[in-house]
Chains A and B, each alone.
Chain A
Amino acid sequence: MKTIRSVLIVDDNQADIEIASYFLNKNGNVRNLLVAEDGKEALSLFEQFQSSCVTLNGKFPPRVILLDINMPKLNGFEFLERYAELNLDFNQPVVILMLTSSEFVGDIEKADNNPLVQGYITKPFSREKAIEICEKFGE
């Protein structure tokens, strides 16, 4: 199975973080797992990278971001807006996948229309999803 160097999970729900982490570790092939508890924290990681190249010992930037929508301080869509403004250019493109409980048509369309988003996964995260992501975006 292909390997993904680093995955960033952006979610405020501890149970969902644990579920995604579990399946990525067990059934995927992910070397590093990073967690941000809301959009603001996630954005801060990218801002630190932009200003002072903070790579967290090579774990950053992530290859894949699993991004929740409904989070306090900065929700998923707000994060995407602010992330786009950073205009970061990475050697390897960062893949952003929405990971959310929302099956609201408006959210799905909004994600679909955002050029930064490459997939929409409804929770709970699963073994099959972990395998699919590694095959598609791993090396």
Chain B
Amino acid sequence: MSSKARDAEWYLSILNAINDLILVKGDRSKLLWANRAFLEYYGMTNQELQDIIDAPHSDPDDTVQYVKDDHYVFSSGRMLDIASEPVTNSQGETAYFHTIKNAIFNDGGKVERTVGVSRRISDDQVIQHSAIERSERKSSLNELRTLVRHLPSAVAMLDVKQRFLCLSQQWSQLLGYTGDDLTESFFEDYFASQLPIQTTLEAVLSDGVAKTIESISILTPEQESIIGTVHIHPWFFPDGAVGGAILLIHDITQLKQSEYQLKRANEELMQFNYRVSHDLVAPLKSIKGLVHICQEELYSNPEMIESIHHKMIASVDSLSSLVNELFNLAKADIQCDDNELIEMSEFINSLLILHQEAMDESRIHLHLDISVSEILGNRSRIRQIIDNLLSNAIKYYDKKESERSIWITIKRESANILIRVCDNGLGIDESIHDTAFDMFVRGSAQYSGSGLGLYLVRKHIENMGGEYHIQSFKKNTVVEVSFPVRE
């Protein structure tokens, strides 16, 4: 036998002759080797030693303590003298041992294993005292676990090695976990990629100070992203040592969405306030300027006054139109959705009568394609939608076009009513492709309106749960809106 092999066997025989329990562990309390005394105490074979950490009757609450102690030695490299610790054997009998655990370093000075040597305590007083301590610890740990298990929130309790001690049902639901019981499984193995909190968790376990991650993106197994706030609180043993951490997740996705919507609404409101103030004042200032001109020219150039007069009227009309649109806008948001059965033929005719004169004046031909005889809906909203779209199409005809036309289509498309208004007028500039339905957006200086027409259409459609878009922008502008059929 080689001297190297003889040396190994020689040392092994010494370790196996010792009556104290000797246990060697790696990181995460992974069992690497135990001496004969250990195997005999637990009634374990070598094979079983490979498979399990503790004997079948081992108390998992005691494991929490072992793990904590192993973690201390492994992470600090320091010796730990445990005056008394419970160890339960294969028959379920618990005895108390004085244990010393120490670190084993590699050549680089890094801890790569720990070794623990445990001697059975025979002093009855010590045993009694230890039993009481153990009972208190188990009791407080049990209470904590029970609490966590039943909390109506996504909560998980970990030991100092980041193994699950228990978790709430909400936790599994939130993170979409449907597998086996996770007790004594490592957090990192199951949720590290979904919940990237490793650095913060380690910091809490190390310094015993709670931390919160305010806003973190959490991926569910269905690849949906939710936003959560994660609170990481340390929990402590009666002796004050950190026992592990409690993780609490608040799903704030809804809150974030509401915040975003509120921010957008505020921005819209600010813009609205700015534009309304400006657009209400602008025509008045124009009128004032025109009045000044009138004062200058009243006697010397009365012909000019008539032209100025028309411009004043135009400014007044512009102001009046804006006020009217603002009023309609206010109503769009607050009006109740009383639905009624609208007979389409009569409805459209009554609408067209109001625009007939303008269409005749501009020599615009109207083509109707209405294949729905009745619609159940809000008469006022539908009326304003068609009225605004038609009004735009009439207003912005192309003077250079000899065959001026507007096409109105109203039909049912699966579960929706579709209203399409098409014209061969001036078109909509590509610079406002994405913003045509925003407030105060006008196509060009040739558009004398308030810029609220399409915005009003949008408001109505949004309130009706529908959709809107513009299909083309040059010749043959097509504006389409649709809303769900009500039965």
Residues of A within 8 A of B (CB): 12-16, 18-19, 22, 26, 37-38, 40, 70-74, 101-104, 122-127
Contacts and interface: CB of A to CB of B under 8 A. Distances in A.
B431 A124 contact: no
Contacts of B287: 15
**10 residue pairs, one from A and one from B, having the closest CB atoms:** A124-B289, A19-B289, A37-B445, A12-B445, A15-B286, A101-B282, A72-B442, A123-B285, A15-B311, A101-B285
B192 interface: no
21 contacts: A15-B314, A15-B315, A18-B290, A18-B293, A18-B311, A19-B286, A19-B290, A37-B444, A38-B445, A70-B275, A70-B282, A72-B444, A72-B447, A101-B282, A101-B285, A104-B274, A123-B289, A124-B288, A124-B290, A124-B292, A127-B292
B443 interface: yes
Contacts of B290: 15, 18-19, 124
B441 interface: yes
Contacts of B296: 22, 26, 127
Contacts of B312: 15
Q: Is the interface of A mostly helix, strand, loop or mixed?
A: loop
Nearest to B431: A73
B288 A104 contact: no
A40 B282 contact: no
Q: Is the interface of B mostly helix, strand, loop or mixed?
A: helix
B286 A124 contact: yes
Contacts, number: 78
Contacts of A127: 292, 296
Contact of A22 (B288, B293, B443, B446): B293
Given A18-B290, A72-B451, A73-B429, 13 more contacts: A12-B445, A13-B286, A14-B314, A15-B311, A37-B446, A70-B275, A73-B444, A101-B278, A102-B278, A103-B281, A124-B285, A124-B288, A124-B292
Contacts of B199: none
A101 B289 contact: no
B445 A72 contact: yes
A45 to B, nearest CB: 15
B223 interface: no
Contact of B277 (A14, A72, A104): A104
Contacts of B451: 72
Nearest to B288: A124
A12 B450 CA distance: 13
Nearest to B448: A14
B432 interface: yes
Nearest to A16: B286
A14 B311 contact: yes
B319 to A, nearest CB: 12
B154 to A, nearest CB: 44
B287 to A, nearest CB: 8
Contacts of A124: 285-286, 288-290, 292
A73 B431 CA distance: 6
A22 B286 CA distance: 13
A109 to B, nearest CB: 14
